[in-house]
Structure 1
Amino acid sequence: MTALQKTAENHHHCVLITGATGAIGGALARAYAAPNTQLILHGRQQDKLEALAEICRHQGAKVTLSNINLTDDHALKAWLDELCTNQVPDIVIANAGKNTHPQGADMLEPWGEVQALLDLNLKTPIAMAQHLVPAMQNRGSGQLVFISSLAAWHGLPTTPSYSASKAGIKAYGEGLRGLLAPHGIGVTVVMPGYVTSPMCDAMPGPKPWEWPPERAAKAIKRGIAANRSRISFPFPLNFGTWWLAVLPAGVSQWLIQRLGFNHHGETPHD
C-alpha cells in the first residue's frame, strides 16, 4: 500500500454538529453516521448525547463528544483549536440554539433570557466561524452551515428576539458566502419552518406544515451536499413568510395578527 493510499484510508469525512441533542441536530447526526465518517457531536444533555453516539457508532461512524459551554469564547476556541490540530472538520453545522418569548400581553421578553439567546443563536456561530475559517482557508476547503429560521423573513410578535437572532445569522451567512467562496469554503444558511421538537411544542401560535426532524435532516443534508446558499422549507410556509418580507410592513403585520401569531404562552428553551 502506498503512502497516498494509507492517507486516504485513514482520512475520515469529518462533520461537526452542535446542538446534537436537539431534534434537528440528532436527526442530522443519524443522517451523516456512516463508515469512514468522523462525527463530532456537541450537546448539553450528556445521557442523550451518549445514546445518540451509540446509534451513530452502530451505523459505522467514529464519534467524539463534547458538552463545553459554547458561549464561553475561551473554551470554544480551545476546543476548536484542538479539533483542528487533529483534523479540520469538512462540514460544520452550527445548530445549537434556544428560544424565548413574551410571557404575557404587553410584556417584553426577560432580559437575561434575551442575552442568553443572542449569545447562543448569533454570537456563538459567528465565533465558530472566526476560529475555524483560518484552518479551512489553509486547507482550501470546508463548509459552514448556519441554522436560521423562516422567522428571519419577518419578525414575529410571539418571538421577537428569536426572530432577530435568526435574521442576524441569515445576513451573516449570506455575506460570508461571497467572502469565502474564493477560498473554496462554502456557506449555507438553513431556514426551517416548524420541526417537531420540544421547542416547537412549547412555542405559542399555530404551527402549519410541521415536519418531522428526519425529513428536515434529509433536506438539509441534500442541500449541503449541493452547496446551496439557502435551504428553506416547507415550500408553502417559506413562500408565505417570504411575502411578509416583500409586502409593506403594515400589511405584513396585519396578516400576522390575522393568522394568530399574537398569542403568548410559557417560555421555551431548546
Structure 2
Amino acid sequence: MMRERTTSALITGASSGIGAALALRLAAPGAVLHLSGRDGARLAQVAAACRSRGAEVHQAVLDVRDAAAMAAWIQGAGRLDLVVANAGISAGTADGVAESAAQTRAIFATNLDGVLNTALPAWEVMRGQAPGSDGVRGRIAVIASIAAFLAVPGAPCYCASKAAVDAWAVGSAPAAARDGVRLTSVCPGYIRTPMTDRNRFPMPGLMDADRAAALILRGVAAGRVRLVFPWWLGALARGTALLPAPLVARLAATQPGKEAAVSG
C-alpha cells in the first residue's frame, strides 16, 4: 500500500476534500507530511488530525499561484516520495453566459499554473534523489478531472484547465519515467467536497473523498499514467464528446449552472 511505502509526502489543497483525505490516509508513525492550503484554520485542523495518528506534519499557508513561494517550499522539504498537486477551484455560468475575464484567468492560474508550480519543482527535486528499493525516485500525482474529456458550455474554463493538466501529465510521463519519477494524471468524477457541495445539478457516481483518496493512492502506487474513476463516467464523458458540439450545448443548457468559484 502507498501508506506503507511512502515516508514523505507533500500535498497542496490539503485543508479540505481530496487533499485532506489523502493526508489522513497517509498519516501514520514514521510518515512526514508537508501540507499546504489557503485556509489556515482548516489546514491546522487537518494537520492536528494527522499528528494524532502519529505523523510528523509541516503545514504552510501558501497560494499555489505563487511560483517562487511554491518552489522554495518544495525545495526546502527534503526528500519527497510523493507529491500531490491537488489545489484547484471550480466555477461556471448558467444559461450559456460567458465567464468573466477575471474568472477565466483565476481558474487557469490555480488549476493549471498552480499544478505546474507544484509538479515542476517536485520533479526537479526527485530526479536528484536516490531511488527507492523499487527503483523509483519519487511519484507525482496531478489532480485533473473527468471534466477534462468533455467541453461543457457551462464550465469551459474548468474543463479546459483540467484538460491541459491531463494532457501535460500524460504527455510528460515518459520523460519523467526516464528520470526515475512516476507521473500520474488523476481524473476523478464527482467527489463530495466543499467544491461540489455548491453544484446545483445531478452528480452521478458522487463519491466520498476518503474513497477517492484510497483509489488515488492505489493507482499511484501501481504506476498508473492516467487514473480515471468511476470508469463508466469517464467512458460516458468521452462518448458524449463525440457528439456534435451544438447537441452537447443543448444538453448542457438543460442543467443548472455552477455557483461562484470555490476551492476544493
TM-score, normalised via structure 1 length = 0.87
- Tell me if 1:41 matches 2:35: yes
Report how far residue 203 of structure 1 moved: 2.4
Which stretch of structure 1 is more off in the superposition, 73-82 or 140-149?
73-82
In structure 2, list runs of 5 or more residues that go unmatched: 1-5, 132-136
In 1: Cα distance, 2:96 partner to 2:223 partner: 42
Determine the structure 2 residue equivalent to 1:113: 103
Report how far residue 234 of structure 1 moved: 1.3
Determine the structure 2 residue equivalent to 1:91: 82
Report how far residue 224 of structure 1 moved: 1.1
Residue 55 of structure 1 aligns with an amino acid whose one-letter code is A
Determine the structure 1 residue equivalent to 2:115: 125
Structure 1 residues 89-139: Cα deviation after superposition (integer angstroms, max 9, x where no partner): 11000000001212x424211211211111110012112232222221111
Residue 134 of structure 1 aligns with an amino acid whose one-letter code is E
Report how far residue 258 of structure 1 moved: 3.5
Report how far residue 237 of structure 1 moved: 1.1
Aligned length in residues: 253
Do the aligned residues in 2 keep the contact of 1:36 with 1:61 (CA within 8 Å)? Answer: yes
In 2: Cα distance, 1:261 partner to 1:223 partner: 35
In structure 1, list runs of 5 or more residues that go unmatched: 1-11
Determine the structure 2 residue equivalent to 1:191: 187
Aligned Cα RMSD in Å? 1.9
Determine the structure 2 residue equivalent to 1:6: none
CA 1:92 to 1:205, structure 2 compared with 1: closer, same or farther past 3 Å? same
SS of equivalent to 2:89: coil
Determine the structure 2 residue equivalent to 1:5: none
Which stretch of structure 1 is more off in the superposition, 22-31 or 68-77?
68-77
Do the aligned residues in 2 keep the contact of 1:206 with 1:261 (CA within 8 Å)? Answer: no
Match of 2:11 among 11, 14, 17: 17
Match of 2:22 among 24, 28, 33: 28
In 2: Cα distance, 1:29 partner to 1:224 partner: 15
Residue 159 of structure 1 aligns with an amino acid whose one-letter code is A
Report how far residue 75 of structure 1 moved: 1.5
Report how far residue 265 of structure 1 moved: 4.5
Report how far residue 172 of structure 1 moved: 0.3
Residue 36 of structure 1 aligns with an amino acid whose one-letter code is G
Structure 1 residues 209-233: Cα deviation after superposition (integer angstroms, max 9, x where no partner): 1001111111111111111111111
SS of equivalent to 1:198: coil
Do the aligned residues in 2 keep the contact of 1:149 with 1:191 (CA within 8 Å)? Answer: yes
In 2: Cα distance, 1:71 partner to 1:128 partner: 9
What is the correspondence of 1:213-252 to structure 2 with a 5 Å cutoff?
213-245=209-241, 247=242, 249-250=243-244
- Of structures 1 and 2, the larger Rg is shown by 1
Do the aligned residues in 1 keep the contact of 2:119 with 2:142 (CA within 8 Å)? Answer: no
Match of 2:151 among 143, 147, 155: 155
TM-score, normalised via structure 2 length = 0.89
Which stretch of structure 1 is more off in the superposition, 67-76 or 13-22?
67-76
SS of equivalent to 1:16: strand
Do the aligned residues in 1 keep the contact of 2:146 with 2:237 (CA within 8 Å)? Answer: yes
- Tell me if 1:73 matches 2:67: yes
Structure 1 residues 132-172: Cα deviation after superposition (integer angstroms, max 9, x where no partner): 22221111511110100001011112211000000000000
Determine the structure 2 residue equivalent to 1:9: none
In 1: Cα distance, 2:111 partner to 2:228 partner: 18
Report how far residue 253 of structure 1 moved: 5.3
SS of equivalent to 2:187: strand
SS of equivalent to 1:126: helix
In 2: Cα distance, 1:165 partner to 1:74 partner: 21
In 1: Cα distance, 2:236 partner to 2:155 partner: 18
Report how far residue 261 of structure 1 moved: 5.8
Residue 254 of structure 1 aligns with an amino acid whose one-letter code is L
